[in-house]
Structure 1
Amino acid sequence: MSTDTPKLHANEALKEESNFLRGTIQQELAESTDQFNKGNLQLLKFHGTYQQDDRDARATAKKTGGGKEYSMMVRCRIPGGRITSDQLLAQLDLCDELGNATLKITTRQTLQLHCIKKQDLHAAIQRINHVQLSTLAACGDVNRNIMCCPAKRTGSVHAELEKLTDDLTVALAPQTPAYHELWVADPETGEKTLEGGGPAVEPLYGPRYLPRKFKVGIALPEDNCIDIYTQDLGFLAVVRDHKIIGYNVLVGGGMGTTPSAKKTFPALAKRMAFAKPDQAIEVAKAVLKVQRDYGNREDRKVARMKYLIANWGIEKFRRAVEEYFGQPLADCTEDEVTGFDDHMGWQEQGDGKWSYGLNIENGRLYDNENHQLKAALRAICNEFKTELRMTGHQSIIVTDIEERDKDKLISLIQQHHTPTTEQTSTVRRWSIACVALPTCGLAITESERRLPTIIDKLEQPLAKLGLDKERFTLRMTGCPNGCARPYNADLALVGKAKDKYTLFVGGGWLGNRLAYVYKDLVADDVVVDELIAIFAAFKANREPDESLGDFCARVGRDDLETLAAAAPRP
């Protein structure tokens, strides 16, 4: 055997020998154990579920000699975040009956259930399929949930964006019948649901699937609400005379990084080529095939497509895509990202009806003595029976509201002690956080549970500085994997060590610039002071109409630290 033969990562053999993602999942589902074996845990990701344990409970159990409390996170695939009222009601029922009574809106416009016990996993996924949703390819080394602008608008442009989202979802989906066999098929009734199964081969992916996860997003230049530059593959619509004439194709975005491995880094996508509407599907397949055949299968830390592009350069990558596509592609047009609309509050749809974007802090739907978010959404779904749409900022849009019903919708929200978007501060509205502790096994620090209290302490100082209406993105993650897209935000806190964060600044709400490390290992108890000092420096030294991210990028790390030390605090 040649010494040049690459040593593949263990996951590659696991995938290849899994009989197209079957493994021994069926057998383990029938066993009374509370957890799955390591091999099946990897395969289950392709089916949309991760095994986790409650790390709060773990710490308590350790003191008494107990073990971990295992459960499953179940994630849906919801293209473009579009969901019916009945589907959301079914998810709320599931979180109450089988989960931990909360539901999480993710940063990829979908929903996650937490704390599903192993013995309830089959029932949970089957029930999701019964309401015409799916969990297939919500995780794993395949194309994940496709993001698209969630705004509901009349006219051809948004309709075309949504159609491309749906067509790509089908074109890039795994074809293995294993999902249908394991979770959907009813041997007694033969009831047909969403995932109908297919041939026992993967014509697009092959038996090893992709080297790593793959993410796709579709956006408009004036509305980059899905953070297109963070996607492996992005389609930026090129519009002329209210019609999409094609897409600027962007490739190679990705947020995840491992600080201990200097070979890893966050990256923004690069402009590659222009594709006509009738070319978009095949171009997407060609990009995916290049990653499939040339992506790194030895080291998963550098297996995302951004590393292949970094090694090859964009021109070589484009030539490979054109070879798989079968013909040369045109160059990108001059169209570029110019705006970002979070679609919160009231917005006209263009058909005489309205949509209302309700800010959901960190995407967590729950009921307690102070807020009844789930109850509010239940009331809205039962009253209006309309379509809802999740946003890339973990919030939700209620569509198709008649003018006469606007006050009724707001009343339902207020009756359940839920703050309206208009009652939400700007800093809170433009913030997002990953799940982190206690359920994410990768989390180093708090994120979702910590960010609200940080914002509580920022709101008054921002108001005193006259910056309470200033729009900037504030993102927080419990580890460097970047699930809340921290590395292109105006400000970000990334968990680095116990109760310590790396503070990033200098990205921006447009999402087209990477932030830089301002300070590392910032202790949790001084995070707020550090942020207030940055705001004070910004207030005292900004140029006219300059954004926070632009200011930080302009002055640079050293000068920002000097200006922050000198600026008077509010």
Structure 2
Amino acid sequence: MPEIKPEHSEVEHIKERSNYLRGTIAEGLADEITGALADADTQLTKFHGFYQQDDRDLRSERKHQKLEPHYQFMVRLRLPGGVITPDQWLALDEISRQYANGTLRLTTRQTFQFHGVLKRNLKPLLQAVDRAGLDAKGGCGDVNRNVVANTNPHRSALHAEVHEWSKRISEHLMWRSHAYDEMWLDAPPSDEPDAEPIYGKTYMPRKFKIAIAIPPENDSDVFANDIGLIAIVEDGELVGFNVAAGGGMGATYGEPATYPRLGTVIGFCTPDQTLDVVEKLVTIQRDYGDRVERKHARFKYTIDDRGVDWLTSELVKRTGFELGEARPYEFHGNGDRFGWVEGDDGDWHLTLFIENGRIADFEDYKLAEAMRELARVHEGEIRVTCNQNLVIAKVKPEARDAIQQVVDKYDLDNGERNTALRRASMACVAFPTCALAMAESERYLPSLIDKLDDVMREAGLADDPIVIRMTGCPNGCARPYLGEIAFTGKAPGKYNVYLGASFTGDRLNKLYRENIDEDEILAELTPMIHRYAEEREDGERFGDFVVRAGIVKATREGRDFHDDVGPAL
């Protein structure tokens, strides 16, 4: 276990002296004078599943009124593989209306976020979540985050098996302190002393993410994770996983030492080896990750600093065996397949497009009401995808008409209501709640898509998807560096534009233009989209075209992300 030294970041010292993540959170909750928690405790509450935020739309007004910021919290659930029951959906919907801002947010990691939670509502919200059979433990913080997997565990026995792996890994890597049960669920102090056999008292240097994918679908964006497991199937049986290590999306403007990176495939493991391999990779990052500079604390930098050969050698030391040679695989895309799909067992599954993952009742689109009605008539399960969409899963043939009636009644998008471009888009939350946001994202992307849709129609590409990602900052929550076109916020109304990621999620994009507004974005992309329509080869995707045409250079290594930026001359 790593020893915390004076030169380590203050967050490391906060964790070490926190009494296994308790800190003074309980005292802060009892303080009714302020809506905030102490700064040190806001580092610890992340492990319990929530971030302290404030409503940035109200900052200036409240400051003028000499009031403290309108503090509130974002709560994120742990939901390995993204599967819940209809009853759990109804419970979460009720929780959002009773204790949050009345909406649910589907995340890019197959789980739910509540926004606008006041401090006094944190404990009753988490208790209500517990009564629904769910939790927020490890939703955030310097631990393994929500384990994600392919879209639908009920399409086949193989998908079900992979989903079980997501749950098994999540449970194996869960932090073990009794603090969550004691503080939020009023559990009595345990007779067993606190211990963290995997993490130790200081946990991980930074967050850690794991994804599983079943080729040919890469809807979990497996290479964007610290560990990616690629299911290898032979004669219809899961024989093991190719292991990718060192993926991650975050970067910092003006600091070329930070960059997104795709995971490197380091070998193959059998099912009986998988948990050991995953755990030992976690412990390697625990022991060698940077605990001085948090911007340099992800697994990707540990690997690039020391080398892949070092990583595989260290893994052999800890497991006692070598990984096998990686097996062949192929990905065809990283999006969702919309509409009805029949599973191997005859049940049906319906994927619905949810724009940017926001479940709410809009003026002309009663999505939250529709989902409540679906949950009341549906007897199967509901699945969150890594692209912020929903799968109504395990629909019996005789129940399909009842589900379709609700879809028709509320004009839900089963792949027909919106354009292919919009369905391939994704945004992070950004304003008004995210403290890191430099520009709008969720609230702005739909209107930009309106204008890009016009360009696509004019170019004869109305039915063609282009993967578009937008974030309010460079930290990468919506995986922007895997967008064929991507925008990261630089200032209010200004974005960096990236081009050239692959449609299958195995190539990064490249910075094309920096700090430009909507008019400049459209001026750059309009002729480029028309050129794509005229010059593309059969089946060629937009990201591949801009690389082949020399508009940007291909980026396969994270350390090359900042090289040769800008439009080609």
For Structure 1 versus Structure 2, the TM-score category normalised by the shorter chain is over 0.9
Q: Distance in 2 between matches of 1:546 and 1:35?
A: 51
Assess, with a 3 A threshold, how the Cα gap between structure 1 residues 360 and 462 changes in structure 2: closer, same or farther.
same
What are the Cα deviations for residues 503-554 of structure 1, in whole angstroms up to 9, with x where unaligned? 0010022000010111111113432333222211211221222110100121
**Deviation (angstroms), 1:326:** 2.0
1:507 alignment counterpart: 501
Provide, for residues 7-47 of structure 1, a one-character-per-residue CA deviation record: whole Å limited to 9, x for no partner: 10111111011011011111111221211000100000000
Q: 1:346 aligns with which of 340, 343, 348?
A: 340
Q: Does 1:83 align with 2:77?
A: no
Q: Does 1:544 align with 2:514?
A: no
CA distance in 1 between counterparts of 2:291 and 2:354 reads: 38
SS in 2 for 1:557: coil
Q: Deviation digits for residues 126-153 of structure 1, max 9, x if unmatched?
A: 1101111010001000000000012143
Change (3 A) 1:199 1:411: farther
2:460, 2:366 → 1: CA distance? 32
Percent identity over paired residues? 39
Alignment match, 1:62? 63
Does structure 1 residue 357 correspond to structure 2 residue 351?
yes
RMSD across aligned C-alpha pairs, in angstroms?
2.2
Give the conservation status (yes or no) of the 8 Å contact 1:147–1:226: yes
Structure 1 runs (4+) deviating above 6 angstroms are: none
Q: Does residue 256 of structure 2 align to residue 262 of structure 1? A: yes
Amino acid at match of 1:93: E
Shift of 1:242: 0.4
Mapping for residues 160-559 of structure 1, pairs under 5 Å: 160-185=161-186, 199-340=193-334, 342-557=336-551
Structure 2 distance, partners of 1:44, 1:197, is 24
Q: Which amino acid aligns with 1:497?
A: A
Supply the distance in 2 between the matched residues of 1:90 and 1:384 (Cα, whole angstroms). Answer: 15
* Ranges in structure 1 where 5+ consecutive residues have no aligned partner: 191-195
Deviation for aligned residue 1:565: 12
Tell me the distance in 2 between the aligned counterparts of 1:322 and 1:279: 12
**Aligned mates of 1:258, 1:402 — CA distance in 2:** 48
> Where does 1:5-44 land on structure 2 (aligned, <5 Å)?
7-32=7-32, 33-44=34-45
Alignment check: 8 A CA contact 1:221 1:339 kept: no
Query: 1:155 deviation in Å?
Result: 4.2
Query: Offset of 1:183 from its aligned partner?
Result: 1.0
Aligned residues of 1:387 and 1:399 also touching (Cα < 8 A): yes
| Letter in structure 2 aligned against 1:69 | H
Match of 2:47 in 1: 46
- Please report how far the alpha carbon of residue 556 of structure 1 lies from its aligned counterpart in structure 2 after TM superposition: 2.6
Cα 1:162/1:420, change in 2 over 3 Å: closer
After superposition, the C-alpha distances for 1:198-245 in whole angstroms (9 at most, x for unaligned) are: 750100000010000000000012011100010000110111000011
Q: Distance in 1 between matches of 2:31 and 2:310?
A: 50
1:338-385 Cα shifts (integer Å, max 9, x gaps): 444513211111212211001000000001331111110100001113
3-state SS of paired residue (1:466): coil
Question: Given residue 97 of structure 2, which amino acid in structure 1 is its aligned partner?
Answer: D
Distance 1:336 1:313, change over 3 A: farther
Question: 2-side partners of 1:147 and 1:453: how far apart?
Answer: 30
CA displacement at 1:460 relative to structure 2: 2.5
AA of the residue aligned to 1:141? D
Partner SS for 1:398: strand
Q: CA deviation at 1:559?
A: 9.9
SS in 2 for 1:461: helix
Which segment drifts farther, 398-407 or 8-17?
398-407
- The number of residues matched between the two structures is 555
Are the structure 2 counterparts of residues 341 and 557 from structure 1 closer, same or farther at C-alpha, using a change threshold of 3 Å?
closer
- What is the TM-score normalised by the length of structure 1? 0.93
Q: In structure 2, how many angstroms separate the alpha carbons of the residues matched to 1:339 and 1:430?
A: 11
SS state of the match for residue 148, structure 1? coil
Q: 1:31 to 1:335 in 2, by over 3 A?
A: same
Can you give the 5+ residue segments of structure 2 that lack an aligned partner in the other structure? 555-566
Distance 1:145 1:281 in 2: 16
TM-score using structure 2 length: 0.94
Shift of 1:109: 0.4
Instruction: Give the 3-state SS of the residue equivalent to 1:73 in structure 2.
Output: strand
2: CA distance between counterparts of 1:477 and 1:496? 10
Task: State the shift of 1:400 in Å.
Answer: 1.8
Relative distance call for 1:273 and 1:374 in structure 2 (3 A) is same
Q: Which residue of 1 aligns with 2:145?
A: 144
SS in 2 for 1:137: coil
Which residue of structure 1 aligns with residue 558 of structure 2?
A: none
